Amino acid sequence: MQSEINDFRLADLLKQYIAKLKVKNNKIKAKNIEFKARVAKLKDKQLQNELVVEKELTSTKPDFTL
């Protein structure tokens, strides 16, 4: 009888711990999504900057006249 009670307590404790870990995991997943969005935004900004630089480089012609 006592053994069964201990087993139930242990099972309950494990369930609580698993629930806490799931909450933690979901928070980490949410942060990961935020970071991925920030990385995508930064990559887009970098690409825009590269296109601007490329456009500026190709639009200016060097003046070789002396």
pLDDT of residue 43: 98
Question: What gap in Å lies between CA 27 and CA 35, rounded to an integer?
Answer: 12
Question: Which tens digit of pLDDT belongs to each residue from 3-62?
Answer: 888 889 999 999 999 999 999 999 999 999 999 999 999 999 999 999 999 988 888 766
Distances (CA, A) of 2 to 8, 9, 47, 48: 10, 11, 67, 69
pLDDT of residue 16: 99
Polymer length in residues for the chain: 66
- Domain spans of the chain? 24-53
pLDDT of residue 5: 82
